[in-house]
């Protein structure tokens, strides 16, 4: 057999052997896909990495950290395989049908992952932006991810079964009640998240208080189903998101925005210690810092409702002057000292004002020093602070009798 006869023999085998033709096409098909995956994809990925590293935009860094670019490039071999499937399997229609269904299913799965990573990366980016911190970004992103996976799962099942997605959706009508029962908390959290976001009820970092649940601290996270709050004792409370809409929540953000924090405390003065001003009281008051000036203003001020002046009225006026001259007291917010209804503990004097110091420790230090100073001031005005008798007081009273 000469060379020409050998070539014709081999050609006849290739032409007549269907299995050999299919195997050869399949080998070339897989080889091209592997070349794109192992050679072309890494080259493009390095180019994207170089562009992202040179970019001054912040959002692409978050997308890169989530690995979205690598996932997008995984679509290249899948799309190439789908495009070439008609060329390599045109003579084998059953194989072509199953191969295309499998490739479409893989493309849908990878696309779902791309949207998932993209939304996560953008959510982290927007959480760092000041104007977007008041929005429930995490909850909204979770809702988007939930919808993506829901519709992606329907497309995936429809593709594998070879039916229309709309036909599959219409067949899910009977399962609506079951789905609503299973995803009840998720749906309630979804509605609550929208209300919280639109009404700007709270955001991550806000100080909230819910005494009925023992919650008092800063919001750590606000998601679709739950809210995490770190209390001041460093414990973490987890609440359903819907709870923030259906129950009373005290948000201290208004205090932070106003620039002042309220002090509202009361001292109880014995009724019997209230008296008209006399030389002893005025002499004691003059010994206080700026006592002379305050006393002159008090005795000469216009708009007085009664001619006779009491030591309690002078005490109120003196403390108001102290608050007026203090640097930490907010002058543009309410500042008053008022007498509450007399009770069995005496006359309550309520101090109501705001200071610019909002930090907890410094705020408490100022309040403690202020109340301590008021207690020390009372004897200068011949006023006595009410205190319930202790066991020692009762014992001394018994010894006297």
The CATH 2.30.30.60 portion of the chain extends over: 164-254
pLDDT (tens digit, 9 = 90+) per residue, 102-111?
A: 888 888 888 8
How far is the CA of 253 from the CAs of 42, 217, 218, in angstroms? 49, 12, 10
H or E segment and range at residue 68:
helix 68-73
Instruction: Give the per-residue pLDDT at 355.
Output: 92
Least confident of 257-261, 342-346, 377-381: 257-261
Two tokens, residue 141: 């992103």
The single-letter DSSP state of residue 210 is E
Instruction: Give the per-residue pLDDT at 303.
Output: 47
Least confident of 53-67, 76-90, 256-270: 53-67
Least confident of 257-271, 309-323, 383-397: 383-397
Share of the chain above pLDDT 70, in %: 79
Confidence at 350, pLDDT banded by 50, 70, 90: very high
CA angle 366, 370, 372 (to 5 degrees): 120
Instruction: Give the per-residue pLDDT at 273.
Output: 92
Please check whether residue 249 is in contact with residue 320, taking contact to mean a CB–CB distance below 8 angstroms.
no
The HSE-up count of residue 376 (CA atoms within 13 Å, CB side) is 7
Please check whether residue 316 is in contact with residue 333, taking contact to mean a CB–CB distance below 8 angstroms.
no
Q: Greater confidence, 352 or 225?
A: 352
How far is the CA of 342 from the CAs of 13, 121, 274, 310, 338, in angstroms? 115, 61, 13, 17, 12
Q: Of 7-16, 38-47, 148-157, 373-382, where does the model show the most confidence? A: 373-382
Q: What is the mean pLDDT of residues 179-198?
A: 72
Could you give the 3-state DSSP secondary structure of residue 348?
Answer: strand
Predicted TM-score of the model (pTM): 0.54
Instruction: Give the per-residue pLDDT at 32.
Output: 79
Instruction: Give the per-residue pLDDT at 18.
Output: 57
Two tokens, residue 234: 């460093």
Least confident of 115-119, 285-289, 303-307: 303-307
Least confident of 14-18, 48-52, 72-76, 266-270: 14-18
Confidence at 135, pLDDT banded by 50, 70, 90: low
Residue 58 has pLDDT above 90, yes or no: no
Residue 8 has pLDDT above 80, yes or no: no
Instruction: Report domain 164-254's class.
Output: mainly beta
* Strand partners of residue 337: 351
Q: Greater confidence, 274 or 137?
A: 274
Q: Greater confidence, 229 or 204?
A: 229
Give the C-alpha separation, 285 to 302, whole Å. 21
Residue 307 has pLDDT above 60, yes or no: no
Residue 21 has pLDDT above 90, yes or no: no
Q: What is the mean pLDDT of residues 37-46?
A: 78
Please enumerate in sequence order all residues whose Cβ is within 8 A of that of 104, keeping only pairs 6 or more positions apart, or say none.
82, 159
Instruction: Give the per-residue pLDDT at 13.
Output: 54
Average pLDDT over the chain, rounded to whole? Answer: 79
Residue 257 has pLDDT above 60, yes or no: yes
Nearest to 271 by CA among 340, 345, 339, 350: 345
Instruction: Give the per-residue pLDDT at 368.
Output: 93
Q: What is the mean pLDDT of residues 54-66?
A: 72
């Amino acid at each position: 057999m000469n060379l020409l006869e050998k070539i014709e023999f081999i050609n006849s085998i290739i032409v007549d052997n269907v299995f050999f033709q299919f195997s050869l096409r399949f080998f070339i098909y897989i080889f091209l896909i592997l070349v794109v995956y192992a050679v072309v994809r890494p080259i493009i990925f390095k180019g994207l990495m170089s562009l992202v590293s040179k970019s001054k935009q912040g959002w692409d860094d978050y997308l890169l950290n989530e690995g979205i670019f690598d996932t997008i490039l995984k679509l290249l071999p899948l799309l190439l395989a789908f495009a070439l499937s008609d060329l390599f399997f045109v003579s084998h229609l059953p194989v072509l049908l199953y191969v295309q269904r499998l490739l479409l299913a893989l493309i849908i799965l990878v696309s779902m992952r791309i949207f998932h990573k993209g939304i996560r990366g953008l959510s982290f980016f927007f959480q760092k932006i000041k104007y977007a911190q008041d929005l429930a970004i995490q909850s909204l992103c979770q809702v988007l991810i939930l919808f993506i996976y829901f519709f992606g799962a329907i497309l995936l099942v429809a593709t594998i079964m070879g039916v229309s997605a709309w036909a599959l959706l219409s067949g899910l009508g009977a399962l609506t009640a079951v789905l609503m029962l299973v995803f009840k908390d998720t749906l309630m959290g979804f509605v609550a998240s929208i209300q919280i976001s639109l009404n700007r009820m709270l955001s991550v970092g806000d100080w909230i208080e819910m005494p009925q649940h023992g919650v008092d601290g800063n919001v750590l996270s606000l998601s679709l189903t739950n809210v995490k709050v770190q209390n001041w004792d460093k414990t973490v409370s987890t609440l359903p998101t819907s709870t923030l809409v259906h129950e009373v929540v005290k948000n201290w953000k208004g205090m932070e925005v106003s620039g002042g924090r309220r002090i509202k405390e009361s001292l109880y003065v014995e009724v019997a210690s209230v008296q008209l001003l006399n030389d002893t009281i005025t002499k004691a008051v003059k010994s206080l810092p700026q006592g002379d000036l305050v006393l002159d203003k008090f005795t000469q001020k216009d708009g007085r409702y009664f001619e006779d002046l009491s030591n309690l009225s002078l005490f109120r006026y003196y403390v108001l002057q102290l608050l007026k001259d203090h640097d930490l007291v907010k002058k543009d917010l309410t500042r008053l000292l008022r007498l509450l209804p007399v009770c069995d503990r005496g006359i309550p004097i309520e101090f109501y004002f705001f200071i610019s110091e909002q930090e907890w420790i410094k705020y408490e230090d100022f309040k403690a020093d202020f109340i301590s100073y008021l207690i020390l001031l009372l004897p200068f005005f011949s006023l006595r602070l009410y205190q319930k008798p202790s066991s020692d007081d009762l014992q001394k009273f018994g010894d006297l009798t």
